Amino acid sequence: MNAPALPGTLNDNPVLDRWVSFPAPGKVTVNTGRVELGQGVLTAMQQVATDELYVSMARVTVHSGDTVRAPNEGYTAGSQSIQTGAVAMRQACADVRALFLAQAAAIIGCKPDELSVRDGSILHNGASTGQDYWTLAGAIDLTAKATGSGARKAVADFTSIGQSSARLDLPPKIFGDAIFIHDMKLDGMVHARVVRQPNRGATIGTIDEAAIKRAAKGPVDLVRNGNFLAIVGSNETAVDLAGAAAVNHVAWQNVEAPTPLQQEAYWLLQRPTVDRVLGSPEPSDSQGRQRFEATFTRGFVAHASISPSCGLALFKDGQMTVWTHCQGVFPLRAALARTLKLEPSAIIVHHVQGSGCYGHNGADDAAADAAIIAMQKPGTPVRVRWRREEEFVYEPKSPSMVVKVRALLDDAGKPADWTQEIWSGNHNGRPGGGSSLLGEEALPGYTPPPPPNEVPEAAGGGATRNAEPLYDIPEKRIVHHKIVEQPVRVSALRGLGATANVFALECCIDELAERAGQDPVAYRLSITSDPRARAVIEKAAAMANWQPGPPNGGEGHGRGVAFARYKNKAAYCAVVVDLDVDEEIRLNNVWCATDGGLIVSPDGALNQLEGGIIQAASWVLKEQVRFDNDAPTGPSAFDWETYPVLKFSEVPEITIALLNTKDEVPLGIGEVAGGPVAAAIGNAVSHALGVRIRDLPLTRERIAATLLKE
């Protein structure tokens, strides 16, 4: 008989003591490779362990994100923390519980199924046995591998999962405790700022060291390795002043900056591409069928993290220890090993919380900066904090995208054949995945690695994410044109290609509904047989008191609806937006219905959905990286004035409903709202104005230009 398949990431990390230990009487520690980025994942893992080990939450300590103790779960990304991480934690705890029950049964002389656990104590037919996890722990070999045979707790019996528990990470944040990586202080620590290459391949011409040191107004040293140049000192203010001045006192050669032409996505259509086709073959005969075609674009988008990236490193006795707020400590370790020419076993990476992260921002690079400098200063802890300007300019951007939709319609005006054609850079530029750390590119002997592969479709795809409609369309295909060479670094940002793809797809569905003279909600339901998809669409419409009928636009007030299932295999989400358009677009209300399957913490899920709604609204209404001929590095956004984001005063009323929360299987929920929100806003703006705007962001200038064309 074959052993049960191990769920989630347990298959790659089957040794049980990587997940659970009993360090002291009455105490339980669970380890997770998932890291806290502000999404509440540590609290969720505590809830999972509490239920499956049958102990109180107060007994459980969650340890996360280091290469010494935690399981290697790759990146905390892609809405997978609960979908794959929590299910692994749940089974690991169930297997551990089964081992303890088997040991207790052997001691007592009964069958394991006659035993139960109450807050860590072993009971026999409801009576105390005098045994508990801690008295038995010495006899249990937790270096054993998980078998998947431990019976998981029935969903109906959950006491913690499904409840909104107090967040572990919030009290110290609210009361100002020094828990962020930016607050870390190590004995003998020095501060450092890196003088950045304007672009890969740029070389240092001259350095006015005297001018840099004069600007510091305090003692600083310059550390150089090839074209990697850093300013180091014990006084952070002096290092800051020198770092800011160095921009004007280091002359670079071989500088190549992006141009304003490259900031608009249509530039991609002129570039060489690597092409592939997924899905059905092109129709051999489209004669006699109605045709529909539309093109949509999205520019480069920044992460715009609330605080700049930071990293610490100490190289001592041949061992490199790094502290970072990155999303994946094991992939970073692999990248650092390549950069520093060390064995991975000589590198320890610890996760420390930062100010939030929605993808591949500058966290890995700041950690690498600190490690490169620490290699030249053995025994001295090095702290690198990026400046705001540095973060905006040098962090990887979300690639610009062009999405063209072509559809052939049947006699009822419904799509019978659908092509989604995509031009985009790579959404997978993470370290450890084939790309370089920024500091590595400046070191002597640097050889660029081969271009990294895009995120595979099995993992949801990158540029192709959510490009296939979930609707009942007989023939569907994706044509993907990857543009390898980009004017700036590009990599992963929340949702990857899903936002642009769902924006294009769902705006087209609205246009087809209008073309058929049908209500947008009714039209979607007419081409949707998936009951869970239908349920969220119907629920969002009911929440918004949607009034059926073909939209009559052009009066400045609009409503729009959109739907998607994230990656077509994670959570379902439908959104209705109500807005007004005058001098600006003003969001009034957003209604969101989401089926995320089993919800560990309803409050945590609501936080993720609300945050995703607000971030997507900011992308759609405001955000685009722009290039300036006068900026030596290209991007002209250096602060919140030149790169505006949604203000607190612009946040709409948000109402959310969660469906199927007691389902056995959790679905990834953290990134599900982005695409539907973007498309619902686009549809509502079209309803309000009576014209369609297909290029993001939907700025005042774009609205005015579109109206002038009409």
Rounded-to-integer distance, Cα 710 and Cα 706, Å: 7
Higher-confidence position of 590 and 707: 590
Rounded-to-integer distance, Cα 353 and Cα 173, Å: 10
How far, CA to CA in Å, does 37 sit from each of 8, 75, 608?
A: 20, 12, 11
pLDDT level of residue 559 (50, 70, 90 thresholds): very high
Predicted local confidence at residue 79, as pLDDT: 85
pLDDT level of residue 407 (50, 70, 90 thresholds): very high
In this predicted structure, the answer to whether residue 313 has a pLDDT above a threshold of 90 is: yes
Predicted local confidence at residue 548, as pLDDT: 86
According to DSSP H, which parts of 109-222 are helical?
133-136, 170-174, 209-216
pLDDT digits (tens, 9 = 90+) for 664-676: 899 999 999 999 9
> What pTM, to 2 d.p., does this model score?
0.94
Torsion angles phi and psi, residue 623, rounded to 5: -90, 125
Fold of 401-427+462-709: Aldehyde Oxidoreductase; domain 4 (3.30.365)
What SS3 class is residue 339? helix
Predicted local confidence at residue 357, as pLDDT: 81
Higher-confidence position of 551 and 526: 526
- Could you tell me whether strands 310-316 and 382-385 are parallel, antiparallel, or unpaired per DSSP bridges? antiparallel
What SS3 class is residue 575? strand
Look up residue 234 and give its DSSP letter.
S
Mean predicted confidence (pLDDT) in 271-288? 85
Structure tokens that stand for 76 in this block: 């905390």
The domain defined by 181-255+304-394 carries CATH number 3.30.365.10: yes
Determine what percent of the chain is predicted with pLDDT higher than 90. Answer: 79
Mean predicted confidence (pLDDT) in 113-134? 93
pLDDT digits (tens, 9 = 90+) for 185-197: 999 999 999 999 9
Predicted local confidence at residue 632, as pLDDT: 52
pLDDT level of residue 636 (50, 70, 90 thresholds): low
**CB 322, CB 347: distance < 8 Å:** yes
Torsion angles phi and psi, residue 705, rounded to 5: -65, -40
In this predicted structure, the answer to whether residue 318 has a pLDDT above a threshold of 50 is: yes
Give residue 509's identity as a one-letter amino acid code.
Answer: I
pLDDT digits (tens, 9 = 90+) for 35-84: 999 889 999 999 999 999 999 999 999 999 999 999 999 998 888 889 99
Residues 6+ apart with CB under 8 A from 185: none
How far, CA to CA in Å, does 491 sit from each of 98, 200, 376, 608, 610?
A: 43, 16, 29, 22, 24
Burial of 248 (0-12, 13-18, 19+ CB in 10 A): exposed
Predicted local confidence at residue 637, as pLDDT: 63
Higher-confidence position of 431 and 206: 206
Mean predicted confidence (pLDDT) in 628-656? 81
Give start-end residues of each CATH 3.30.365.10 domain in the chain.
Answer: 8-167, 181-255+304-394, 401-427+462-709
Closest alpha carbon to 133 in 163, 90, 174, 101? 101
In this predicted structure, the answer to whether residue 524 has a pLDDT above a threshold of 70 is: yes
Look up residue 268 and give its DSSP letter.
G
The packing angle between helices 236-246 and 209-216, to 10°, is 140
pLDDT digits (tens, 9 = 90+) for 595-614: 999 999 999 999 999 999 99
pLDDT level of residue 1 (50, 70, 90 thresholds): very low
List the beta bridge partners of residue 592: 575, 656
pLDDT level of residue 552 (50, 70, 90 thresholds): low
pLDDT level of residue 502 (50, 70, 90 thresholds): very high
Structure tokens that stand for 168 in this block: 């572990």
Give residue 245's identity as a one-letter amino acid code.
Answer: A
Rounded-to-integer distance, Cα 621 and Cα 122, Å: 57
What SS3 class is residue 114? helix
How far, CA to CA in Å, does 627 sit from each of 162, 195, 199, 259, 643?
A: 47, 21, 14, 6, 11
Torsion angles phi and psi, residue 176, rounded to 5: 80, 25
The domain defined by 8-167 carries CATH number 3.40.50.300: no
Rounded-to-integer distance, Cα 699 and Cα 644, Å: 11
